Amino acid sequence: MNPLTIILNRVFWFLTKVKNQSPLLGASILVSILIGVFLRNVVLLIYVFKKHPLKTYNWLDYTIFLLIFLLTYFYARKKKGEIMNNALWSSKGNNLFVVFLYLFIVFSFIFLAKVNRDKIFTETKKEQSDLPRKESLENKIRKSFE
Protein backbone atom coordinates (compact mmCIF):
# COMPACT_ATOMS: atom_id res chain seq x y z
CA MET A 1 0.00 0.00 0.00
CA ASN A 2 0.97 3.60 -0.54
CA PRO A 3 2.67 5.22 2.51
CA LEU A 4 1.03 8.56 1.71
CA THR A 5 -2.38 6.92 1.97
CA ILE A 6 -1.43 5.34 5.30
CA ILE A 7 -0.26 8.69 6.68
CA LEU A 8 -3.38 10.48 5.42
CA ASN A 9 -5.55 7.71 6.91
CA ARG A 10 -3.97 7.88 10.36
CA VAL A 11 -4.08 11.68 10.48
CA PHE A 12 -7.68 11.62 9.20
CA TRP A 13 -8.79 9.25 11.97
CA PHE A 14 -6.92 11.20 14.62
CA LEU A 15 -8.71 14.37 13.51
CA THR A 16 -12.02 12.47 13.49
CA LYS A 17 -11.43 11.38 17.11
CA VAL A 18 -10.80 14.96 18.21
CA LYS A 19 -14.00 15.99 16.41
CA ASN A 20 -12.47 18.17 13.70
CA GLN A 21 -15.18 19.61 11.43
CA SER A 22 -13.31 18.80 8.22
CA PRO A 23 -10.90 15.94 8.91
CA LEU A 24 -10.02 15.33 5.24
CA LEU A 25 -8.98 18.96 4.74
CA GLY A 26 -7.14 18.98 8.06
CA ALA A 27 -5.33 15.76 7.18
CA SER A 28 -4.33 17.25 3.83
CA ILE A 29 -2.95 20.35 5.53
CA LEU A 30 -0.99 18.41 8.16
CA VAL A 31 0.45 15.97 5.63
CA SER A 32 1.35 18.90 3.35
CA ILE A 33 3.25 20.47 6.24
CA LEU A 34 4.99 17.14 6.83
CA ILE A 35 5.99 16.84 3.17
CA GLY A 36 7.09 20.49 3.02
CA VAL A 37 9.26 20.18 6.12
CA PHE A 38 10.70 16.92 4.76
CA LEU A 39 11.67 18.65 1.50
CA ARG A 40 13.20 21.51 3.49
CA ASN A 41 15.20 18.91 5.46
CA VAL A 42 16.57 17.46 2.23
CA VAL A 43 17.67 20.91 1.06
CA LEU A 44 19.16 21.73 4.47
CA LEU A 45 20.99 18.41 4.50
CA ILE A 46 22.59 19.32 1.18
CA TYR A 47 23.65 22.72 2.56
CA VAL A 48 25.15 21.15 5.69
CA PHE A 49 28.00 19.88 3.53
CA LYS A 50 28.43 23.14 1.61
CA LYS A 51 30.49 26.08 2.75
CA HIS A 52 27.74 28.70 2.43
CA PRO A 53 24.42 28.64 4.33
CA LEU A 54 20.99 28.32 2.78
CA LYS A 55 19.22 31.65 2.40
CA THR A 56 15.50 31.39 1.74
CA TYR A 57 12.84 33.54 0.19
CA ASN A 58 9.39 33.47 1.79
CA TRP A 59 7.40 33.83 -1.41
CA LEU A 60 9.12 30.76 -2.88
CA ASP A 61 8.49 28.73 0.29
CA TYR A 62 4.82 29.67 0.34
CA THR A 63 4.42 28.87 -3.35
CA ILE A 64 5.99 25.45 -2.89
CA PHE A 65 3.78 24.78 0.14
CA LEU A 66 0.67 25.79 -1.78
CA LEU A 67 1.61 23.46 -4.64
CA ILE A 68 2.25 20.59 -2.21
CA PHE A 69 -1.07 21.28 -0.47
CA LEU A 70 -3.02 21.26 -3.73
CA LEU A 71 -1.41 18.02 -4.86
CA THR A 72 -2.03 16.38 -1.48
CA TYR A 73 -5.63 17.61 -1.30
CA PHE A 74 -6.49 16.35 -4.80
CA TYR A 75 -4.80 13.03 -4.01
CA ALA A 76 -6.80 12.77 -0.76
CA ARG A 77 -10.07 13.48 -2.58
CA LYS A 78 -9.20 10.87 -5.19
CA LYS A 79 -8.39 8.22 -2.54
CA LYS A 80 -11.13 9.30 -0.11
CA GLY A 81 -12.60 5.80 0.16
CA GLU A 82 -9.28 4.22 1.13
CA ILE A 83 -8.45 7.01 3.57
CA MET A 84 -11.80 6.77 5.35
CA ASN A 85 -11.60 2.96 5.72
CA ASN A 86 -10.63 2.59 9.39
CA ALA A 87 -10.71 -1.21 9.58
CA LEU A 88 -8.12 -1.62 6.81
CA TRP A 89 -5.45 0.61 8.37
CA SER A 90 -6.12 0.40 12.09
CA SER A 91 -3.02 -1.13 13.61
CA LYS A 92 -0.57 -0.04 16.27
CA GLY A 93 2.33 -0.36 13.82
CA ASN A 94 0.83 2.16 11.41
CA ASN A 95 0.01 4.55 14.24
CA LEU A 96 3.55 4.36 15.62
CA PHE A 97 4.99 4.74 12.12
CA VAL A 98 3.13 8.02 11.60
CA VAL A 99 4.01 9.38 15.07
CA PHE A 100 7.70 8.52 14.72
CA LEU A 101 7.76 9.93 11.19
CA TYR A 102 6.41 13.28 12.39
CA LEU A 103 8.79 13.35 15.36
CA PHE A 104 11.83 12.40 13.28
CA ILE A 105 11.11 15.03 10.64
CA VAL A 106 10.48 17.78 13.20
CA PHE A 107 13.61 17.03 15.26
CA SER A 108 15.80 16.67 12.20
CA PHE A 109 14.46 20.01 10.93
CA ILE A 110 15.33 21.66 14.23
CA PHE A 111 18.86 20.23 14.16
CA LEU A 112 19.52 21.10 10.49
CA ALA A 113 18.08 24.59 10.92
CA LYS A 114 20.38 25.16 13.90
CA VAL A 115 23.41 24.12 11.84
CA ASN A 116 22.35 26.48 9.03
CA ARG A 117 21.69 29.31 11.50
CA ASP A 118 25.17 28.88 12.99
CA LYS A 119 26.65 29.15 9.49
CA ILE A 120 24.68 32.33 8.86
CA PHE A 121 25.86 33.84 12.18
CA THR A 122 29.52 33.05 11.51
CA GLU A 123 29.26 34.44 7.98
CA THR A 124 27.58 37.61 9.24
CA LYS A 125 30.11 38.00 12.03
CA LYS A 126 32.97 37.62 9.55
CA GLU A 127 31.45 40.22 7.21
CA GLN A 128 30.95 42.66 10.09
CA SER A 129 34.48 42.25 11.38
CA ASP A 130 35.93 42.98 7.93
CA LEU A 131 34.16 46.34 7.64
CA PRO A 132 35.66 49.38 9.35
CA ARG A 133 33.45 50.58 12.17
CA LYS A 134 32.11 54.10 12.01
CA GLU A 135 32.07 56.22 15.11
CA SER A 136 28.56 56.50 16.48
CA LEU A 137 26.79 59.79 17.04
CA GLU A 138 26.44 58.95 20.72
CA ASN A 139 30.22 58.65 21.10
CA LYS A 140 30.74 61.98 19.35
CA ILE A 141 28.31 63.68 21.72
CA ARG A 142 29.98 62.14 24.78
CA LYS A 143 33.41 63.30 23.58
CA SER A 144 32.13 66.82 23.06
CA PHE A 145 30.98 67.04 26.72
CA GLU A 146 34.29 65.73 28.07
Q: What is the pLDDT of residues 40-74, one digit of tens each?
A: 888 888 888 887 777 777 788 889 899 999 998 99
- Show me where the domains of the chain are located: 3-145
Supply the pLDDT for residue 130.
64
Cα separation, 47 vs 39, whole angstroms: 13
Contact (Cβ atoms closer than 8 angstroms) between residue 9 and residue 89: yes
Considering only the C-alpha atoms of the chain, give the largest distance between any 2 of them, rounded to a whole number of Å: 83
Determine the 3-state secondary structure of 85 from DSSP: coil
Q: What is the pLDDT of residues 71-129, one digit of tens each?
A: 989 998 888 887 777 655 566 777 777 788 888 988 988 988 888 888 888 877 777 66
Supply the pLDDT for residue 131.
64
